[in-house]
Amino acid sequence: MTDPGAEDLRTVERLAADGDIGKLAKKLVRAATLSGLRNPSVAEQVAAVAKRPEDERLRLVTAWADRCRRGTDTEEVQDLLLMLADLVGRGLGGELLADMRIARLEALGRRHSYWYAERLDVLAEAELASGRALSPAVVAVFRRTAVGTYRDPAVVALAKKLTEPVLNAGEEWADRAIAGLPEPAEAWQRLLRFSTTATAARPSAQWETAGRALIEEIGADAVRETVLPWIALVGRPRTLPLERAEYEPDVNAAYDPYNANALRGLAWLLSILPPHQDTARGLGVLVETSLRKVAGLGPRNPKVANAAVLALSRIEGEAALAELARLASRVVFKGTLKQIDAALETRAAAMGLSREEIEELAVPGYGLTGVGRRAHAHGELTVLGSKAVLSWRNAAGKAVKAVPAAVKRDHAEELKELKAAAKDIDKMLSALGERLDRQFLARRTWTYTAWRERYLDHPLVGTLARRLLWTVDGQACGYADGELRTLTDDPVPAGAEVELWHPVGREPAAIVAWRDWLERHAITQPFKQAHREVYLLTDAERNTRTYSNRFAAHILRQHQFHALAAARGWQNKLRLMVDDSYPPATRELPQWGLRAEFWVEGVGDDYGEDTTESGSYLRIGTDQVRFYPIGAPENWAHAGGGGYEQGWRGAPAEGLPIAEIPALVLSEVLRDADLFVGVASVGNDPTWQDGGPRGHFRDYWHSYGFGELSQSAETRRDLLTRLIPRLAIASRCTIDGRFLHVKGELHTYKIHLGSGNILMTPNDAYLCIVPKGGGTDPAADGGYLPFEGDRTLALILSKAMMLADDTGITDRTIISQL
């Protein structure tokens, strides 16, 4: 049988020998177009022609140059002509197509990377052979391609020759590093180049030895003081934007993969330095920045995040441990969270403590000398609610709003440290609040002495713990006027065991009494505790026996649900519009030996209208909540629905009877489901009165936006019933059923207490008001609120205050509807 490749080679050799340059030129272009330059047969033909005498090759290259300059071919064929000319004409000394090659490479510099089969490395090699350097943008493209998925040997070999600039241009942090290397500049160049070799999961002993030598040459303090400002710039918008192809991830929001290796190396080098608070702070920020989501990609760069976590785990001292503990409450990306957990478990084992204890002991005091207070020479840092506030005094001791000029001038370092401490405190308070809110299901108890040290009297944690209710040896108590007190304000003596108070199992009268006590002492809790919703077993759930349908048949924004689920300790996978199966959202409760499942499925069938560019569903539908033993096999369902089943058995596994689930577990799990629906439902979107895409969700939007109240909305109504009489607009407001009625000058408005959507007289016309920014803090107007964190409550109050003075509205979008 004849070998087609051998036959083609003989044809090429015959045409070359006959001097038929025209046919030979067309033959090679046709072969390269059909099969590509990487095809072995085509490569063999080109190599054979490249060995022909110079005069023959020059005629062939001239033919291709003439054709190329006519500009009648597609861009793909033009590229092939350029590459064939460079491959066959190598060493001829002429540059018939140099200007077109340069232009093609400059155009390439606007791309992220390229498909290796394009053989654009041939053009780069020709440029280098001509003695011209490639531009930084073009160098970056070849480096990114070299570290990509396919790692073509020719591209990798080319990238190794491209030693300048030391980092890829186009990211602000890298541009700053390239442009402003301090002395000794050569040593810094070596350190940066060395950092790009961090391509493994962790540094080897040999790598560390080499890194220590470089640090020693420059100086540890100089490395820290130079590298940390670079890291602070990571994640900023690209300085050289890249073209984004259709259906391609947002490459301008992602990390440059070549520079990402350098970031990993710099993180490892920072872990070699002597421990320093700024180092821990910078690495913690790098973790969070690297895990921010990018459209079509997911987390920006988990490898960089993992490198920063590894660096923190290797740094001794309180600051690094505190960052790990904070990140444990903030990070939801499974791979990085697993690494954080492992680091904390290792520290705990080394100290002979439990994981919970190491997290408690890891919380720093941030220089606070009392609970929530830190005096400084020019004012005070005070923790107010969940924020650190800096106050200032001038030279005369008078309170001033702005930082005094003398402080900026003479105490710049102290000012910088104070502002950094305030930011750190804000981050830590948020993480601590989330951790405490999850303690209800942790079955955690403390000895009285340890609890006072780690919670009540801790300079930072105390600002939260003193706003919560506790039980000491079974006696419920709160902190007021300098000590623990009962409902009757009697002091509570020291005891043996402390627990976090929860309303489940309490008499309604006792719960209301504690709410009154908090109000009497003007205590705003960091999250709902005394006002926490309690979800009791219903007759419907007794009838269904093994599942709850209480939060079924809702339409949620999938990505918002996914983020909320992760924040509340649930495991969930984003559903793609593909022929695949997924497990439900699950929350494992090891202290109870249980696993909760919330069944969801993708909604929609139009790729593009019902999905993101990357194919994940925009919306999901909700179904049952079930409970299983923690080790039971999971149920699975098709991405687009069709019912859950347990693998090949073809039916869902039988859940545990709802009536046998402990009341606290049932209440907290259903509260999570209520939160997911209350926050992520499309019914909350004021712009969806038309029902969304093709009106599919019109009925759902109306039923949710103005329908019966959920348990959390009922709690909101009860609270507003107490709050409204104290507001300046009280005479214009009444609560009736599901609505807060607000009497304006132009209309009377009905604000739904669940969704915040608005109807107005006459005829219940819909009023669309789109909230701006992150919402308004309802306590900002000076009114007392018993807890923080209810954004819908904030929206309802801000809308009520605006609509009560509807003649003073200036927003034209709203005015046009009135």
- 549: part of which helix (H) or strand (E)? none
pLDDT at position 16 is 67
Residue 93 pLDDT grade (very low, low, confident, very high; cuts 50, 70, 90): low
Average pLDDT of the chain is 88
Q: How far apart are CA 638 and CA 616, in angstroms?
A: 14
Give tens-digit pLDDT for 708-741. Answer: 888 888 889 988 998 888 888 999 999 998 999 9
Give tens-digit pLDDT for 15-61. Answer: 766 677 778 778 787 887 887 787 788 778 878 888 888 888 888 88
Calculate mean pLDDT across residues 760-783.
Answer: 68
pLDDT greater at residue 28 or residue 746: 746
pLDDT at position 651 is 62
Least confident stretch, 318-327, 393-402, 534-543 = 393-402
pLDDT at position 134 is 93
Region of residue 504 (phi > 0: left; psi between -120 and 50: alpha; otherwise: beta): beta
Q: How far apart are CA 110 and CA 244, in angstroms?
A: 9
Say if residues 576 and 615 touch (Cβ distance below 8 Å): yes
Burial class (CB in 10 A: 0-12, 13-18, 19+), 777: middle
In this predicted structure, the answer to whether residue 772 has a pLDDT above a threshold of 80 is: no
Say if residues 424 and 281 touch (Cβ distance below 8 Å): yes
Helix crossing, 153-161 with 136-146: angle to 10°? 140
Calculate mean pLDDT across residues 586-607.
Answer: 93
Q: How far apart are CA 45 and CA 10, in angstroms?
A: 9
In this predicted structure, the answer to whether residue 5 has a pLDDT above a threshold of 60 is: no
**How many C-beta atoms surround the C-beta of residue 410 within 10 A?**
11
Residue 518 pLDDT grade (very low, low, confident, very high; cuts 50, 70, 90): very high
Locate 796 and state its tokens. 């309802």
DSSP assignment letter at 212: H
Calculate mean pLDDT across residues 586-612.
Answer: 91
Percent share of the chain, pLDDT over 70:
95
In this predicted structure, the answer to whether residue 775 has a pLDDT above a threshold of 50 is: no
Closest CA to 197 of 286, 273, 264: 264
Least confident stretch, 74-78, 340-344, 496-500 = 74-78
Calculate mean pLDDT across residues 663-683.
Answer: 94
Place of tokens 């791309």: 111
Cβ neighbours for 509, distance < 8 A, ≥ 6 positions apart: none
pLDDT at position 45 is 82
Calculate mean pLDDT across residues 679-686.
Answer: 88
Place of tokens 């209440």: 667
Residue 782 pLDDT grade (very low, low, confident, very high; cuts 50, 70, 90): very low
pLDDT greater at residue 279 or residue 818: 279
Calculate mean pLDDT across residues 121-142.
Answer: 90
Say if residues 336 and 302 touch (Cβ distance below 8 Å): yes
Locate 412 and state its tokens. 């710049």
Locate 28 and state its tokens. 């090679």
Give tens-digit pLDDT for 493-516. Answer: 999 999 999 999 999 999 999 999
In this predicted structure, the answer to whether residue 779 has a pLDDT above a threshold of 60 is: no
pLDDT at position 774 is 47
